[in-house]
Amino acid sequence: MGNDENRWMKLFLDCVSELCDNNVKINLSHTDTIYILEEGVQVNGFWDDTDEKKLIFACAIGKPLTKWGPIFAHEFCHFLQWKDKEQIWYDYQSISVEESLKVYRNQPISQERLDFCLNTTREIELDCEKRAVRLFKKYKIPIDISNYIKGANAYIHFYNHIKKYRQWYPPGKMPYAKRKLREAASPRFYKDYSEIPPEMAELYKKYYPEKRNNKITV
Ligand SMILES: [Zn+2]
């Protein structure tokens, strides 16, 4: 095993050990994605703390390590957020399943709640990505950190775009997979995420145009 794989392996073993210590069920699937029955979506991985007695960590590992390793780390950082229970975690918990489904399915919701749901999701993902970068640095993971942060920024700012245009990305068309969006994003975390930088805003509009049936408010 090469030195690079060894670093990843140390991170995985430590993470799995911590998950086990916290009675988390671990689902490492040898597939490209994992299907979530209740939501009818394919995902790369997830962290589920809706039931404290049934905590689940899942990651699809049937692809190259360079692809699933960062996702594993990202989902593990959602577990750390649950463990640390900072204010942002409580804010996120306050969003009901029904409410988040209204957001995702573009169903009527008040502008105030829509903003709260998406701002909170944006901030929890930002906190998660910052934790992931700290993890990569701690384990000296062979990964281009600047490029990773660019992708994270393209993903985090997407929540601002959704607030106005209600257009989710089609499967496999994630914002971080769009080269031009990545290039337009900063290689560092922004101080403030309340406004999308203009160049990126134009690209989001191009790739994810406004939903024709945009039922923003009730
Ligand atoms: Zn996440």
What per-residue confidence (pLDDT) applies to 211? 74
Residues 79 and 125 in one domain: no
Asked if 166 and 207 sit in the same domain, the reply is yes
Task: Tell which of 65, 84, 103 closes a domain.
Answer: 84
Task: Taking each helix axis as running N to C, give the angle between helix 198-207 and helix 145-165, from 0 to 180 degrees, rounded to the nearest 10.
Answer: 70
Q: Of 31, 53, 84, at which residue does a domain stop?
A: 84
Question: Tell me, what's the pLDDT at 202?
Answer: 96
Domain end call among 62, 84, 106: 84
User: How far away, in angstroms, is 206 Cα from ligand 1 center?
Assistant: 24
If asked whether residues 165 and 212 sit together in one domain, one would say yes
Task: Please indicate, yes or no, whether residues 13 and 63 belong to a single structural domain of this protein.
Answer: yes
93 alpha carbon – ligand 1 mean position (Å) = 14
Residues 6+ apart with CB under 8 A from 120: 88, 91, 92, 94, 95
For residues 104 and 208, what is the distance between their CA atoms, to the nearest angstrom? 14
Ligand 1: centre distance to CA 218 (Å): 28
Range of the domain at 76: 1-84
For residue 120, the model assigns a pLDDT of 97
Mark whether 3 and 32 lie in a shared domain: yes
pLDDT of the residue at 218: 56
Q: How far is the CA of 217 from the centre of ligand 1 (A)?
A: 26
Do 122 and 23 belong to one domain? no
| Gap from CA of 76 to ligand 1 centroid (Å) | 9
Regarding whether 26 and 16 lie in a shared domain, the answer is yes
Distance CA 48, CA 145 (A): 27
123 with 205, same domain: the answer is yes
Distance 202 CA to ligand 1 centre (A): 24
For residue 17, pLDDT over 60 is answered with yes
How deeply is 130 buried, as exposed, middle or buried, from its count of CB atoms within 10 A (0-12, 13-18, 19+)?
middle
Is residue 49 domain-shared with residue 148, that is, in the same domain?
no
Which amino acid is it at 167?
A: Q
Structure tokens at 34: 């994992």
pLDDT at 215 over 70: no
Number of domains comprising the chain: 2
126 Cα: distance to centroid of ligand 1 (angstroms): 8
State pLDDT tens for residues 79-118: 999 999 999 999 999 999 899 888 888 888 998 999 999 9
Quick one: average pLDDT of 59-77? Answer: 96
d(CA 125, ligand 1 centre) in Å: 5
pTM of the model: 0.93
Please say if the pLDDT value at position 58 is more than 60.
yes
φ/ψ of residue 107, rounded to 5: -95, 160
In this structure, the answer to whether residues 189 and 107 fall within a common structural domain is yes
CA 82 to ligand 1 center in whole angstroms: 12
- Is residue 72 located within the same domain as residue 89? no
Contact between 169 and 158 (Cβ < 8 Å): yes
* Longest CA–CA separation in the chain, Å: 57
Shared-domain flag, residues 54 and 91: no
Query: Is the pLDDT reported for residue 42 higher than 90?
Result: no
**Which run of H or E residues covers position 97?**
helix 97-104
